Amino acid sequence: MSPNGIINSFSGKNPNIFTGISTGSPNNPDANFVIGNVSSYTESNSAPVSDMAYQNTAFYIDDSWKVNRKLSVELGARIEHVGHWYDRQGTGMAVFLPGRVFSDYYSGKADPGYYWHSIDPSIPLSGQPNRLAFVSPRFGVSYDPFGTGKTVVRGGWGVYRFSGQYNDYAAALTTAQNVVNYSLPGQKTVQLSQIANLKPPVCTSPFPTEANPQGGCGISGSQNGLDASDYGVPITYAWNLTIDHRFKWNTLLDVAYVGNTSSQILDNGETIQGSGFAELANQNKVPIGALFLPDPITGITSTNPENVAVNPTTGAPTGNQLADYHPYGYAYGTNAPHMSQSNQYSNYNGFQAAYIKETGRLNFDFNFTWSKTLGTVLQANPFVVREGNYGIASIDRPFVFNATYLYQTGEFTHWGTIGHVLLSGWTISGISTWQAGGSLLALLGNSVPNYGLSESYSNNPTTNGVGSGVSQATYYGTDESGLAIQPVLTCNPNKGLAKYQRLQVGCFAAPTIAGNNEIGEFGGKAYPRMSMGSYFDNDLALYRTIHIHNTQNVQFRFSMFDWMNHALPEFSSANQVTLRYLVDYPSKAVTLNTGTGGTSPTFGYMDTKTAYPYARILELGLKYTF
């Protein structure tokens, strides 16, 4: 043991871990503190520092040519080395080598299959190999078709590379640092004087067992590693085409098409949509349909894939274990050894228009965007990158309108002296925004696009290892929790909606359970865009600055936020978009659960409003500067 320990509690009276004698006061933690009777203690074998960095080195070539008085062209290239994150302390980032798991496990190595630089110098400190250099070209053009300067056509295309974020790679370093944790068992105590004698538990079973299905020896907590053959560096291709035209009153109309696509993004990371799909990187997933087949070890086919260890008819043990079906179950049980890979991607395409005036007493900027943002952002299918996972991103807003406006009264010359004194120097400004609602699928819990679908048994005649409901095991013959059971559509849930209603519950149905050890129906197909409510806001400000003397000024300001008092309708909780079904145990027929604790009778309705009825905020301000 080491000095990296934390005492968490002195509460309670429980048997001493060494003597077995109950010690301490059950209700007086102060007394336990005085006698040194500890009831909660954790310790790590080390406390390493996470000291990561990446190195980028680049130079560029760029030149522009004025082909004629109407046409200008710019061409350039960036030659750059974009390095992967690496460990500056010399340990290195862990990589997962599948071919070594078997031999590592039977040789007793902790974290079989995971290697890093300090134990295998052939692996770079970054884990992933680096390219010496990339060439990233850029191109731009500007064309004045009439030669008057009033109309300009601009366009460009470029390649941009960048390093992934720190959080995406930190877990691979944590695995390499090989920190082993110890916690005092529950309902046990230890004296302060005995802490130095604590020992981590000794593994007595090298294989996953029914009592310990998570695995045997050689495993230390969660494992994360990179792909040792992955050269991937995140890359973005961006392009645009813009037409500007200046009208009378010094106004400008700007119309543009803008697009980009990004790829080679880490799957078990947060670069796309902020929450990585860890199960995509899990190398120990049970293949679809495997639980419908004989156990690879015993050769026995279980008739209850939800609990392969028990015969649902007799209650007798089958000898099967879930770990038997996992590719690396002999070493990792049902744990998830991860190997992150650069296989994620996204894209954006948008039409943008703006009408702008920036001179005179009246200024404004009206702009509109029609766009779509797609990517591997959903978490529905951990077995493939695209199918079920490629869809609308949570940041997508297909239609956005913004307006900013400002009017200055200047020196008011009407209505004589009174009008000049009272109305000169005022400014009124405002901001108005409307955005179409974001995709419901992307905004559901952790981007799992299944409306929280759950199915509970009814008419269950036996309890012999039969649980309360069905999961991926019954539907698809796998215990892979990342494979979402998605509803199927029987009609368009966007049609015939009432006020504040976003979905028709009658258009959703649970997928069909095939039974007879056959793979069930996959939902989630041919979904229309289902969205949240739109966003709408208007702010106004009226202010005037009065000069007092020399550098002294006083400003009066009256501001109104959401001055229309437009509270936004929304769902009070995820319960409003959660589907719950009942499964008849004998027939496996599925019906919507409309009883207590079932699907909400107001499913799909936005049943509350933000800040209602006090959305409007008024502010009065007085500022004196000198």
Mean pLDDT of 17-31: 93
Q: Cα(289)–Cα(534) distance, rounded to whole angstroms?
A: 42
Residue 137, both tokens: 């070209």
- 207 or 350, which is more confident? 350
Q: Cα(171)–Cα(186) distance, rounded to whole angstroms?
A: 28
Mean pLDDT of 576-593: 93
Q: Considering the chain, what percentage of its residues have pLDDT values greater than 70?
A: 95
- pLDDT exceeds cutoff 90 at 612: no
* Confidence band of 441 (pLDDT split at 50, 70, 90): confident
From the list 165, 169, 159, the residue with the least C-alpha distance to 235 is 159
Q: What is the pLDDT of residue 217?
A: 58
Q: Considering the chain, what percentage of its residues have pLDDT values greater than 90?
A: 75
- DSSP alpha helices (H): ranges in 396-515? 416-423, 440-443, 472-476
Q: Which helix (H) or strand (E) holds 351?
A: strand 342-357
For the chain, how big is the Rg over CA atoms in Å? 32
| Model confidence pLDDT, tens digit, residues 294-344 | 999 999 999 999 999 999 888 899 999 999 999 999 999 999 999 999 999
Q: What is the pLDDT of residue 183?
A: 87
- DSSP alpha helices (H): ranges in 118-233? 166-177
Please provide the DSSP assignment of 535-591 as one string: EEEEEEEEEEEEEEETTEEEEEEEEEETTT--PPEE-SSGGGG--EEEEETTT--EE
Tokens 């299918």 belong to 381
For the chain, the first-to-last Cα distance in angstroms comes to: 65
Residue 75, both tokens: 């061409």
How distant, in Å, are the alpha carbons of 7, 89, 175, 176 from that of 48? 20, 9, 11, 11
Residue 569, both tokens: 């309708």
Return the SS3 of 194. Answer: helix
413: left (phi over 0), alpha (psi -120 to 50) or beta: alpha
Q: What is the pLDDT of residue 3?
A: 57
- pLDDT exceeds cutoff 60 at 559: yes
**Which residues partner with 105 through β-bridges?**
none
Q: What is the pLDDT of residue 476?
A: 96
HSE (side-chain half, CA atoms, 13 Å) at 172: 33
Task: Return the ∠ at Cα 132 (arms to 126 and 136), rounded to 5°.
Answer: 110
Q: Which residues make Cβ contacts (< 8 Å) with residue 256, sequence separation at least 6?
A: 240, 241, 242, 243, 351, 352, 353
Q: What is the pLDDT of residue 587?
A: 86
Please provide the DSSP assignment of 251-306 as one string: EEEEEEEEEEEEEEEETTSSTTTTS--HHHHBS-PPPTTGGGSPPTTT-PPPS-TT
Return the SS3 of 239. Answer: strand
Q: What is the pLDDT of residue 416?
A: 75
Are the C-beta atoms of 484 and 518 separated by less than 8 Å?
A: no
* Confidence band of 504 (pLDDT split at 50, 70, 90): very high
| Model confidence pLDDT, tens digit, residues 540-556 | 999 998 888 888 999 99
| Model confidence pLDDT, tens digit, residues 258-291 | 999 999 999 998 888 656 789 999 999 999 999 9
Q: What is the pLDDT of residue 475?
A: 95
- DSSP alpha helices (H): ranges in 396-462? 416-423, 440-443
* Confidence band of 406 (pLDDT split at 50, 70, 90): very high
How distant, in Å, are the alpha carbons of 78, 132, 139 from that of 61? 6, 18, 12
Phi, psi dihedral angles at 124 (to 5 degrees) = -65, 160
How far, rounded to the nearest angstrom, does the alpha carbon of residue 533 sit from its chain's CA centroid? Answer: 21
* Confidence band of 212 (pLDDT split at 50, 70, 90): low
Amino acid at 114: Y
* Confidence band of 1 (pLDDT split at 50, 70, 90): very low
Q: Cα(144)–Cα(243) distance, rounded to whole angstroms?
A: 10
Q: How many other CB atoms are there within 10 angstroms of residue 57's CB atom?
A: 10
Q: Which of 39-53, 89-103, 256-270 has the lowest mean pLDDT?
A: 39-53
- pLDDT exceeds cutoff 50 at 103: yes
Q: What is the pLDDT of residue 45?
A: 81
Mean pLDDT of 415-435: 86
From the list 291, 330, 286, 324, the residue with the least C-alpha distance to 307 is 291
- DSSP alpha helices (H): ranges in 364-517? 416-423, 440-443, 472-476
- pLDDT exceeds cutoff 50 at 197: yes
| Model confidence pLDDT, tens digit, residues 616-625 | 999 999 999 9
From the list 238, 249, 240, 434, the residue with the least C-alpha distance to 352 is 240
Q: What is the pTM assigned to this prediction?
A: 0.87
Cis peptide before 613 (omega within 30 of 0): yes
- The rounded mean pLDDT for the chain is 91
Residue 159, both tokens: 């390649």
Q: Cα(30)–Cα(9) distance, rounded to whole angstroms?
A: 10
Q: Residue 165 gets which letter from DSSP?
A: P
Q: Cα(425)–Cα(404) distance, rounded to whole angstroms?
A: 20
- pLDDT exceeds cutoff 70 at 184: yes
Mean pLDDT of 92-100: 97
Mean pLDDT of 172-195: 90
| Model confidence pLDDT, tens digit, residues 361-386 | 999 999 999 999 999 999 999 999 99
Q: What is the pLDDT of residue 218?
A: 52
Q: Residue 190 gets which letter from DSSP?
A: E
Q: Which long-range contacts (CB under 8 A, 24 or more apart) does 55-63 make?
A: 55/81, 55/83, 56/80, 56/81, 56/82, 56/83, 56/163, 57/81, 62/138
Are the C-beta atoms of 287 and 519 separated by less than 8 Å?
A: no
From the list 184, 182, 186, the residue with the least C-alpha distance to 221 is 182
Q: Cα(230)–Cα(263) distance, rounded to whole angstroms?
A: 13
Tokens 């069909």 belong to 512
* Confidence band of 427 (pLDDT split at 50, 70, 90): very high
Mean pLDDT of 450-461: 90
